[in-house]
Structure formats: C-alpha cells, structure tokens
Structure 1
Amino acid sequence: MRKLIADNFAFADSQYHYLINAGLPLDEMPQSFNYTTNKVTGYERTWWCTGFYPGNLLYIYQQTKDESLLPEIRRTLKVIQPNENYTGNHDLGFMMFCSFGNAISILKDASYKKILFQSATSLSSRFRPHIPAIQSWNKSKNFNCPVIIDNMMNLELLEWVSQHGGDRKFAEIALQHANTTMKNHFRSNYSSFHVVDYDTSNGTVLQKKTWQGYADSSSWARGQGWGLYGFTMMYRFTKNKKFLEQARHIAHYILNNPKLPIDKIPYWDFSDPKIPNVPRDASAGALIASALLELGQYTSGKEKSNYVTNAEIMLQSLSSPGYRSKLGSNGGFLLMHSTGALPFNSEVDVPLIYADYYFLEALIRYKNWYL
C-alpha cells in the first residue's frame, strides 16, 4: 500500500498538469470529460463541485511538494471565493471546505479562515428551525422544502467554524440537521432515501423520493456513501455515540449487501434490477473507502480490521487499470467509470472531479493512519 499510494500521487501530479492545461475558460472549474468531443467539461463557480478541483490540487501539492501547482491553486481559490456569500443551495461545504478548509491546513494560510466563517453564515441562512434541518434546494414544482442525504457532508463546515472561534450556533444547526436526517432519511435496514420533502411550517414529512437513484424505494450508492461519511464525521466533532452507531449500521448495509461486487466498487444503485449490466460508480467507491478509513479510527479489533480491509480493496481496485486512467488520457482526470445522474443520462460512465477528490483523500488517510 505504501508503494501504491506513492505511485498514485506521482501519477496524479503528472496527470493534473494535463488537466491544468485543458483549455477551460478561466472562470470555470473542471468537472468531467466528454469522450465524444474529446474535451474537458467545466462549470462556473456556483456549481456544487467547484471546490473539488482546488482541493485535489492541494492534496497533490501536500504529498508531492510540487510548487508548480501553487499558482493554479491560488488562482482557483480566488475564482470561487465569492461563493462565501452564496445562499442559492446547501452546497457551501463542498464548495468552500473542500477548497479553503484544505488550504488552511495544507498551506497554513490563516487569511482564509474568515472566508470559511462567512461561508458558514451563508449556509446557516438555509436552516429551517421548524423541521429542523438545512434546506438543500429551493422550492420547485417537484418539492416544497427538500433535504437530501448529500447535505450531511456540508455539516463539516459548520462544525469546523464553531470549533475554531466561530459562533456555536453553527454546531447546533449541524447537530439538529444530523438528528433530523437520522430520524427521517433511513429505512429499517439503514439504506437511505435520497430526498425527504418537508412542510416548513410544522416539519411534517410530505414525501420521500429519489432524484438521482433508480427509484424512490431504491438504495442509491453514492447516497449511502454520503450518509456513511457524514455520520462518521459528525461523531468526530461531537463524540455522540448515536452518530457512531448510525455510521456502523450504514457500513454494515453497504459491506454486507449481496449486490456489492467482489472488487467493492458499487454499481450506481444497489437496487437496480439489471445488475450486473449497469454502470459502476467509482465516486461512490472512493467516498465509501474514505469514510470507512475514518470509521476504523473509532472502532477496534475485528470491526476495525473489516472496515480498513474493505477500504484497502477499494483503493486497490481504483488504482488498477480497470478504473485508473492512463497517463495523458481521460482529460487529465485520475479515475474512470463514475456515474453522476443516470436517470437524466447525465455524466454516466465518465470521470468526475469528486471521485478524484475522495480517492486522493482516502489514500492520504490510509497513509496517515494505517502505515
């Protein structure tokens, strides 16, 4: 594993230089690669994924000390900085903590702290006390007040700010949101609904649906990963054992699911009846691996070994030619075979910037905690 991790970061350093030179407009962050046009696709700063590209560059810089990455890191952080005031959805954690949070820890630049404080203020504006939870998307013809399982990931921003001199109300919001999610998002087997829709006046659940999964009753793979990661992270901050137990239950559901392939990289949805003739989701595999490695930090004995061993298999699979790009291919992205939103035929069996992010994060976690 030591060699695998070193090889992956050497590869990532070279590969991301291709991505840096992909020719995207300067106000866009890379998202994926279009195999038909042979071009990298990108989005402007308010797209939910725009924090992952600078986050990836920061992870690569941390591990390789390649200072030629620093100008691109600083440039991209400047591009997305105005998101500190963005209140259009719940994605401030993805946008700002995966970028500026890493910039603070890796570059040791305290000037970025105030940006995270403002980002937490913006995110907290979406808290709906009568539910109580953070509203994910705005009201639409489909939903009144939707809260999606992905939203667990944004709580890290709130918790971090509260623990680094910010208002304690942010941590309280994170706690209430996690409690509401645990109450309403999970079935008895600890699989997760994607979207829970609420009445904002009294917190009544209006509907439980999917948006990106196979069906309302299905188990969307990346959603399971968001939940696993989110509750493990909430235990890190709160040391509340109910969050640790929730994470353990979700991990059990994933790792003991009969539809989990032998290489441990999930199909895009555990409930798709066409398995095995459906796309994989490397982003879910990377995300789950990273979460399992943290969960291993809070457990012991055979349980810990089970989490770490499964994460190790996932990382070995993602590092194999079946999932990892060849140098100079795939638009500069590291991983192939991710699935964004199959029901909309959007980003199916392509690289995704957040797959790379959680892959790199998992490699770092393994190196720091298990070598």
Structure 2
Amino acid sequence: MNAAAGMQSSGEIWTWTMDTIRAQAPVIRDHFPHIAQHGRYDRCTPEWWTAGFWPGLLWLVQRYDIRKLMRTLDQQQIEQNQSLLRWARSCEQQLERCLHHPEQVDHNLGLSWLLSGVANYEQTGDLEARRRSLLAANLLAGRFNVRGGYLRAWNFESALMDTRGVTVIDSLMNLPLLYWASLQTGDPRYRALAMAHADTVARELVRQDGSVCHVVEFDHNTGQRQREHAGHAHHVGSAWARGTAWALYGFTLSYAYTAKTRYLELARRIADFFLEQMEERIVPCWDFRAPAEQQHLSDSSATAIAASGLLELSNYVIKSERRRLQRIASIWIDGLYEQYSTRHAGEEGLITGGYVPDMEQRHTQMPIIYGDYFFTEALVKLHGGQGLLTPGLQLHT
C-alpha cells in the first residue's frame, strides 16, 4: 500500500499525533529536546545524541501529513509548513557545526543525520544536505577500529572502562547512514564497514537466548574482547528492554540493505525474545531481568522502538508472520495512545511513561523525544508510509 492511499484511512490517533507535533513546533522550534520533565521538554546542545529526533519528527510531518497529501492545506497551514521546514533546516545547520569538531560527535552521527540532512535531501533534493550527510558518514566511518572490527561508540573518559575500545548495541541504528553513503557514492567501503560492525555486534553482544548486552569493551590496540559492562542495563547479564528493541530494529535494517539472511535471523530471534518478555503488556519494565523492587520502572520508548522495528521486520517475512507482527505493533501503538499519550495532560511530548536509567531514578515516567519519534514513525508505517532510516530503499510494503 502506498503512503497516500494509507493516509486516507487515518483516524483519531493519526490526527492527534500530527496536530500535536504541529502545535508544539512553534514552542520547540529549532531546539533539541530530550526529556520532558514537569511537562516541558528540555533544551540540549546539538552535540547531544538525541539531536536528530526532533528534526526527524518535523520531516515526518512534512512528508506524511494527510492534509498535505490530499492537497487540502489552507494558507495558514502552508505558512506553518514553511515554518516546519525552516526549523528543521536550522537544526541541520546547527548539527553541521558539530562536524567541524569530530571529538564532539560519536557513533550517533547516523541517527542525527539520517533524521535531518538525509531526510532533507531525500525529500527536497537539497545538495547541501547531501554534502553534509556524506561528511557525517565519513566521520562515522572514521570511528571504525580495524583490529576489532567495530565502530567506537563514545569519546568521554570513564573510570569504569577505556571508551576507546567500547561499542554498544544501539550502534546498529546508525549503520543505515553508511549503507546510504554507499548507495549515493557507489563506494562499497561504507557498506563493508557497516557489515563488519554488524557482524562483530552479532558475535559479541547477542546471546543465544536472543537477549543482548548494552556495552562491550575491547582492547583498542589488539581488538580482543575484554569484558561486558552493564551500561544502561541493571547488571551484567541482564536484558535492557530498550537495548533489545534497538537490536531488533538494527539487525532488520542491516538485512534491508544487504539481504544477508544472518541479519534477518538475528532480528527474528531477538524479536521472539522481546515478545516472550512482553507477554500481554503494552509497556515493559525498563530491564526484563530487573529485580522485583524495580519492576515498577517501565519504559514506553522501548515499546515504540520495538513497534517500528516489528513493522520494518514485517516487510521481509512470509504473509502470515507479516500479519502477526503488524497486528502486535498496532496493538502496542493503540495501547500507547490510550494509556500513555499526553492528550489529556496538556504537556509537551506525545507519549509519557519513558525511562532514562540513572542511579537516582530521576528521569522516570515522562515523554522522551525518541519515544515520540518512533511512536510517530510506527504510526506512519501502519498507514502505509516509510520511516526515515531506510533512505534510498524501495520497500515491499
């Protein structure tokens, strides 16, 4: 089903989501929100890892708002669209300044630029956006450790680990920037680096039962695996729910770009684990193996990411499995809207109930910008559209 056809049957959730993003845009403008404490989103620097998600939301609205697709915009809405474009491009220009300071950017270059510059180029043909995005891809490729076969995750110093040798499960979500760069330039090296990293993550961070670890440290000189770190998980050996969702979606994306069945098999195994842990819940505990006293700490962003990941995965499986995955994702999105949306609270953000792990448990049960983004992206997919993490691909939806 094409996007325009799907949008014609949109209902309450779709209308509320698009209207809410449009209403909040003049408040957030060209800033970079992360978490909404006390009903208002914070403002982060463009170097912060979540910087791409707000411009990503603006580009999703630009591409898929039903009124735009049906050409029923009035003059006020046309002017509003121009403001959305202006703010999205301003975000991109701020992100470009980070590219001149490579030590201030990390493996999340992929998410930052897929949802900003690449989205701009794919929708408008802006060659400056393409140039910026390819520069970001070069910087991401430059983080590849040849000895270990992985992309370095972080730059900061830590007493717990040598971050020069660290990679993380969420790195998988950044690989489409490298795949896209190969498609754009015809240079296979970007794709080869992305696949080498995906293979290392598969070997070193994915367990036999389909659970994943968040952080693995390598010797940055020899490439030898040193140890696992809990990272955002509760403990070494546990199962961080959002990390599981990142892995489900991330391996699906690598399959989408390479057609290598090993990635599809991994995505399905991790999806099976996620679904087994969820049982009949809409939102999981933040860590599937957290102790009883922390079971009340749920994370709606894990559901939103996994829902969009399942819908991506549904593009590459047989019809009966496709329908099952789509049905589950639809139930989750309906549940997030019914039980966790901000529609009666008058708060910024779309979906509350998010959790950012920290020692003091300060950031609990609130909207998180990536939860909002993936909720919206999943909704777009349920209505026949395509997310922003598969640029250049023609999906069989």
Normalising by structure 1, report the TM-score. 0.91
Alignment check: 8 A CA contact 2:285 2:295 kept: no
Q: Is the 8 A contact 1:323 1:336 kept in 2?
A: yes
In 2: Cα distance, 1:347 partner to 1:276 partner: 14
Q: State the alpha-carbon separation in 2 of the partners of residues 81 and 284 from structure 1.
A: 29
Pair 1:186-2:203 in alignment: no
State the match for 2:3 in structure 1.
none
Q: Which of 261, 264, 289 lines up with 1:241 in the alignment?
A: 261
Contact 1:52 1:354 in 2 (8 A): yes
| SS in structure 2 at match of 1:206 | strand
Residue matched to 2:45: 44
**Which of 27, 30, 33 does residue 30 from structure 1 map onto?**
33
Q: Distance in 2 between matches of 1:186 and 1:206?
A: 16
Q: CA 1:47–1:200 in 2, change beyond 3 Å: closer, same or farther?
A: same
Amino acid at match of 1:151: S
Match of 2:184 in 1: 164
Give per-residue Cα distances to partners, 1:17-66, cap 9 Å, x unaligned.
44334378x6x41222221xx54211011000011101101111222235
Match of 2:139, SS state, is helix
Query: SS of the residue aligned with 1:265?
Result: coil
Alignment partner of 1:198 is 2:201: no
**Quick check: 2:282–2:336 contact (8 Å CA) kept in 1?**
no
Contact in 1 for aligned 2:55/2:116 (Cα 8 Å): yes
Q: Which moved more, 1:337-346 or 1:205-214?
A: 337-346
Q: Which residue number corresponds to residue 96 of structure 1? A: 113
Contact 2:210–2:273 (Cα < 8 Å) also in 1: yes
From 134, 140, 143, the equivalent of 1:126 is: 143
- Distance in 2 separating the partners of 1:221 and 1:62: 30
C-alpha contact 1:293 1:307 (8 A) present in aligned 2: yes
CA deviation map 1:65-94 (0-9, x unaligned): 354122222222222222334533211011
Structure 2 gap ranges (5+): 1-5, 69-76, 386-395
- Change in CA separation of 1:356 and 1:151 when aligned onto 2, cut-off 3 Å: same
Is 1:274 the counterpart of 2:292? The answer is: yes
1:305–1:234 CA distance, 2 compared to 1 (3 A): same
SS at match of 2:27: coil
RMSD: 2.3
Amino acid aligned to 1:187: R
Identity in percent: 27
Aligned pair partner of 1:210 in 230, 240, 249: 230
* Partner residue in 2 for 1:70: 85
Q: Distance in 1 between matches of 2:330 and 2:18?
A: 22
- What is the deviation of 1:366? 1.7
Q: Take 1:9 and 1:303, find their aligned partners in 2: how far apart are those partners?
A: 25
Counterpart-to-counterpart distance in 1, 2:222 and 2:371: 37
Within the candidate set 350, 360, 366, 2:376 is matched to 360
- 1:342, CA displacement in angstroms? 4.0
Matched, 1:59 2:44: no
The superposition leaves residues 264-297 of structure 1 with CA deviations (integer Å, 9 ceiling, x where unpaired) of 3222111112278412211111110111011111
Distance of 2:280 and 2:296 partners within structure 1: 15
Unaligned runs of 5+ in 1: none
Number of paired residues?
Answer: 363
Distance 1:182 1:255 in 2: 19
Which stretch of the first structure deviates more once superposed, 89-98 or 12-21?
A: 12-21
Superimposed CA distance per residue, residues 135-176 of structure 1 (whole angstroms, 9 cap, x where no aligned partner): 101353221211110111110100111111153211111010
Q: Within 2, Cα distance between the matches of 1:174 and 1:49?
A: 21
- Give CA deviations for 1:190-214 in whole Å, capped at 9, x if unaligned: 1001000000222211111111111
2:98 to 61, 83, 93: 83
Contact persistence 1:263–1:317 (CA under 8 A): no
CA distance in 1, matches of 2:124, 2:356: 31
Alignment pair present for 1:255 and 2:275? yes
- TM norm structure 2: 0.85
Q: What SS does the corresponding residue of 1:317 show, helix, strand or coil?
A: helix
SS of residue paired to 2:102: coil
What is the rounded CA distance, in whole Å, between the counterparts of 1:151 and 1:177 in structure 2? 9
> Could you tell me how far apart the structure 2 residues matched to 1:103 and 1:328 are?
32
